[in-house]
């Protein structure tokens, strides 16, 4: 969470930092700040609660400041409320720093270093600034090493020292940082979007190393006082700046919904060989699919919902146990996994800390790990035994859309390959499965083309404080994601229920006009789902029904019917996902809310 940027070079730092922060704002948006190194080495600080726009307006009202190095931060509050004072950067003596992460032992350190009376904010980050200032005796590397040895928790720091003009130091543990030395100066950031305007080449700052940015070079030092011999691998960004812009769409979310068919193709097509999934170019060997006796899927939020769909599709085919765990719970449930387990870790960002911790636990248990990740070079991708990169391009809206579709595409392909190598599918079965997966892409386009109809349906939800999503089997797995999408951006309390479960309690909440979004696309449970819909209809619910084009439905059953193309039952999730995303989008829009940056959330969840 929190966006970080640092720059040193020939250009005006303030402009670069403010533009960079605008691009990073999706990582945290409750306050923002910058620190600039002035010509006389004095450090200028500007920080404001609220959006980067507030900070920018504030800076524009100040005297023009010329500076060629500085650091900037957008905050997602953890310790201390949203205020100018709690915004980063934090200054202590000669030290000015920004921080992403949580210092778990900050309380003990506050006492150990007697900094209580010096603190002007409630943040753990300011404690680190004061301790670093105490440790600093003119050698930044020595002081940072000592600080690192004291800290527990996760951190990505960018640090300026008043007597080291033009230099920016950084260190990280878990929290992501990428850096680049370019012809326009050296940059460091919490993610690539801030670097792309200046370079396509970057490296991931290795954990437990210190980097020092000077105007045209980024130096890397070990924590044991030596210069790092192994310079980190230089990586190339595989998307351009356009991908991180709205390109005429009013919101990133709508743009990303529209990008789904292309993202699906980009993820699937390079891995099709003679009509079947082939992961040779990913370096994923068939042995990992052959040699396991169970699959453990681990993820958070939307990624976890993709895992739920995958389990419902694949367990009946593979005939081995497939479990899905919420990453934040997984570590504490004493999971029954071992060397015969294939652990599939799903994460768009590849930085979600709960998911990362679960991955590490899976390794400790001896399991083989396969990550399904969107962000190249991210921590989860680097720490997993094998990686299946989805090719969604950057996802900027906090509400995940295209990342979900391509996670599903990846899981369907993995399942298909696994069924093939385990003899559950013939080559012909696998070809048929893949062909149906590809058929789902035009079905998604069809739904995008029906967005005006979906907008009208969404208008019926917004007056209600509650909404329910119901379905059976796979339709229930889709409902979970529909409910999450709606609640996170429209703030309507929405819950997903297995349709048959309603009568065991929840139906008490159904009264006149309560919106129920009912999904009935699975033939083998269709009749039973329809009965459950009748039960809520009889109690006054307002029914928005999602069914296939060819379904025969009594006209009085639903208040609104949204039809999806007739793709095979296991593949209806793709058009359904688009429809549910659009319902949430238009509900948020109709309520005049911030679609892309909903309250209290941030894109990348790097705190536990």
**Closest residue by Cα to residue 212 from 222, 220, 204:** 220
How far lies 537's CA from each of 185, 381, 513, 562, in Å?
Answer: 63, 46, 9, 17
Over the window 156 to 175, marking each residue x when it contacts ligand M6R by CB under 6 A and - when it does not, the resulting string is: --------------------
Integer angstrom CA distances of residue 530 from 81, 500, 502, 537, 557: 48, 10, 13, 10, 8
Query: Catalytic residue positions?
Result: 2, 603
Pick the closer one to ligand M6R by CB: 49 or 399. Answer: 399
**Residue 390 contacts ligand M6R per CB under 6 A:** no
The residue from 176, 206, 301, 570 that contacts ligand M6R (CB under 6 A) is: 301
Q: What are phi and psi of 501, to 5 degrees?
A: -90, -20
Distance in Å, CB of 400 to ligand M6R, minimum: 4
For ligand M6R, how many residues bind (rule: CB under 6 A)?
16
- Contact range with ligand M6R by CB under 6 A, out of 275-283, 301-309, 453-461, 522-530: 301-309
Report which DSSP code applies to 78.
S
Least separation in angstroms between CB 32 and ligand M6R? 21
Task: Report DSSP letters for 561-592, one per residue.
Answer: EEEE----GGGTHHHHHHHHHHHHHHHHHHTT
Taking the least distance from each CB to ligand M6R, the nearer of 67 and 74 is: 74
* Complete DSSP assignment for 292-312: -SEEEEEE-HHHHHHHHHHHH
Q: Toward ligand M6R, which CB reaches closer, 198 or 478?
A: 478
Stretch that binds ligand M6R, among 3-11, 76-84, 187-195, 392-400 (CB under 6 A): 392-400
The stretch among 26-34, 147-155, 250-258, 342-350 that binds ligand M6R (CB under 6 A) is 342-350
Whole-angstrom CA distances from 336 to 324, 356, 384, 386, 465 are: 12, 18, 19, 21, 40
Q: How many CA atoms lie within 13 A of 479 on its CB side?
A: 27
Per-residue CA distances from 545 to 383, 411, 502, 565 (Å): 43, 27, 17, 14
* Residue 100 lies near ligand M6R (rule: CB under 6 A): no
345 binds ligand M6R (CB under 6 A): no
Retrieve residue 193's tokens: 């979007």
Region from 267-275, 396-404, 408-416, 510-518 binding ligand M6R, contact rule CB under 6 A: 396-404
**398 makes contact with ligand M6R (CB under 6 A):** yes
Helix (H, G, I), strand (E, B) or coil at 192: helix
What does the buried/exposed string (b/e) look like for 486-517 if buried means 16 or more CB atoms within 10 Å of the residue's CB? bbbbbbbebbbbbbbebeeeebebbeeebbbb
Please identify, using beta-carbon distances, which residue of 133 and 354 lies nearer to ligand M6R: 354
The only residue of 488, 519, 537, 545 in contact with ligand M6R, by rule CB under 6 A: 488
303 binds ligand M6R (CB under 6 A): yes
Candidates 24, 309, 587, 605; binder of ligand M6R (CB under 6 A) is 605
What is the Cα–Cα distance from 69 to 466, expressed in whole angstroms? 49
Task: Pick one of 8, 123, 125, 302: the residue that binds ligand M6R (CB under 6 A).
Answer: 302
Cβ distance to ligand M6R smaller for residue 419 or 486: 486
Q: Per-residue x/- marks for ligand M6R, 204-243, CB under 6 A?
A: ----------------------------------------
Q: How far is the CB of 101 from ligand M6R (least distance, A)?
A: 16
Instruction: Specify the residue, 106 or 478, whose C-beta has the smaller distance to ligand M6R.
Output: 478
194, burial (CB in 10 Å: exposed 0-12, middle 13-18, buried 19+)? buried
Shortest distance in whole angstroms from residue 182 CB to ligand M6R: 27
Task: For residues 413 and 422, give the distance between their C-alpha atoms in angstroms, rounded to a whole number.
Answer: 14
Q: Hey, which residues between 281 and 300 contact ligand M6R (CB under 6 A)?
A: 300
In the region spanning residues 563 to 602, those forming contacts with ligand M6R, defined by CB under 6 A, are none
Q: Residue 302's beta-bridge partner residues?
A: none
The answer to whether residues 336 and 362 touch, using CB atoms and an 8 Å cutoff, is no
Q: Between 97 and 254, whose beta carbon lies closer to ligand M6R?
A: 254
- Among residues 379, 390, 400, 521, which is the contact residue for ligand M6R, using CB under 6 A? 400
State yes or no: residue 606 binds ligand M6R (CB under 6 A).
Answer: no
In what helix (H) or strand (E) does residue 204 lie, and over which residues does it extend?
A: strand 201-204
Bridging pattern class, strands 168-173 and 95-103: unpaired
Closest CA to 496 of 474, 526, 519, 476: 476
CB of 260 to ligand M6R, least distance (A): 14
- The token pair at 122 is 């409630």
Q: Smallest distance, Å, CB 352 to ligand M6R? A: 3
| Nearest-CB residue for ligand M6R | 301
Beta carbon nearer to ligand M6R, 352 or 369: 352
Rounded Cα–Cα distance for residues 195 and 59 (Å): 22
Would you say 73 or 485 has its CB closer to ligand M6R?
485
Output 312 or 398, the one with its CB closest to ligand M6R: 398
**203 by DSSP, 3-state: which?**
strand
Structure tokens at 225: 């006082």
Rounded-to-integer distance, Cα 400 and Cα 403, Å:
6
Roughly how many angstroms between the first and final C-alpha of the chain, as a whole number?
Answer: 11
Site for ligand M6R in 347-386 (CB under 6 A): 347-349, 352, 355
The residue ranges that bind ligand M6R (CB under 6 A) are 300-303, 347-349, 352, 355, 398-400, 484, 488, 604-605
């Amino acid at each position: 969470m929190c966006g970080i940027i640092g720059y040193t070079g020939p250009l005006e730092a303030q402009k670069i930092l403010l533009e960079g922060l605008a691009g990073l704002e999706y990582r945290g948006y409750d306050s923002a700040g910058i620190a600039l190194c002035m010509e006389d080495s004095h450090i200028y600080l500007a920080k404001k609660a609220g959006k980067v726009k507030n900070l920018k307006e504030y800076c524009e009202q100040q005297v023009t400041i010329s500076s060629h190095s500085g650091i900037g931060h957008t905050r997602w509050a953890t310790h201390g409320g949203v205020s100018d004072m709690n915004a980063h950067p934090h200054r202590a003596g000669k030290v000015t720093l920004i921080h992403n992460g949580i210092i778990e032992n900050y309380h003990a350190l506050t006492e150990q270093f007697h900094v209580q009376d010096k603190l002007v904010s409630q943040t753990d980050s300011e404690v680190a600034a004061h301790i670093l200032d105490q440790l600093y005796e003119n050698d930044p590397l020595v002081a940072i090493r000592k600080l690192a040895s004291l800290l527990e928790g996760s951190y990505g720091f960018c640090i300026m020292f008043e007597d080291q003009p033009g230099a920016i130091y950084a260190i990280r543990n878990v929290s992501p940082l990428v850096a680049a030395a370019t012809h326009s100066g050296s940059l460091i950031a919490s993610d690539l979007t801030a670097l792309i305007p200046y370079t396509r080449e970057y490296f991931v700052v290795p954990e437990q190393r210190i980097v020092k940015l000077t105007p045209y070079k980024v130096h890397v030092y070990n924590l044991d006082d030596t210069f790092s011999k192994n310079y980190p691998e230089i990586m190339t960004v595989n998307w351009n700046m356009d991908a991180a812009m709205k390109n005429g769409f009013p919101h990133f979310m709508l743009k990303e919904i529209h990008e789904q068919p292309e993202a699906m193709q980009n993820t699937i097509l390079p891995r099709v060989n003679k009509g079947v999934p082939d992961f040779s170019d990913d370096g994923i060997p068939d042995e990992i699919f052959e040699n396991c006796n169970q699959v453990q899927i681990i993820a958070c939020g939307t990624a976890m919902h993709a895992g739920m769909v995958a389990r419902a599709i694949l367990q009946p085919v593979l005939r081995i146990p497939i479990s899905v765990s919420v990453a934040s719970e997984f570590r504490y449930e004493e999971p029954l996994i071992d060397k015969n387990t294939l652990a599939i870790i799903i994460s768009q960002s590849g930085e979600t800390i709960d998911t990362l911790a679960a991955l590490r636990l899976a390794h400790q248990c001896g399991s083989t790990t396969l990550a399904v990740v969107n962000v190249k070079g991210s921590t989860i991708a680097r720490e997993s035994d094998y990686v299946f990169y989805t090719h969604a391009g950057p996802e900027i809206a906090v509400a995940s859309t295209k990342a979900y579709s391509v996670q599903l595409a990846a899981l369907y392909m993995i399942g298909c390959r696994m069924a093939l190598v385990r003899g559950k599918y013939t080559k012909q079965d696998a070809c048929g499965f893949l062909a149906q997966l590809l058929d789902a892409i035009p079905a998604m386009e069809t739904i995008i083309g029906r967005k005006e109809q979906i907008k009208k349906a969404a208008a019926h939800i917004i007056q209600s404080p509650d909404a329910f999503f119901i379905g059976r089997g796979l339709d229930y797995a889709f409902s979970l994601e529909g409910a999450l999408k709606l609640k996170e951006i429209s703030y309507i309390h929405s819950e997903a229920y297995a349709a048959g479960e309603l009568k065991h309690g929840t139906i008490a909440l159904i009264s006149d006009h309560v919106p129920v979004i009912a999904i009935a696309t699975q033939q083998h449970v269709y009749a039973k789902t329809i009965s459950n819909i009748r039960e809520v209809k009889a109690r006054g619910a307002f029914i928005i029904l999602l069914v296939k084009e060819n379904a025969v439905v009594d006209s009085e059953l639903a208040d609104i019917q949204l039809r999806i193309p007739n793709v095979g039952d296991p593949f209806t999730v793709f058009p359904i996902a688009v429809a549910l995303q659009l319902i949430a989008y238009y509900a948020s829009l109709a309520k005049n809310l911030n679609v892309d940056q909903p309250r209290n959330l941030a894109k990348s969840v790097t705190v536990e």
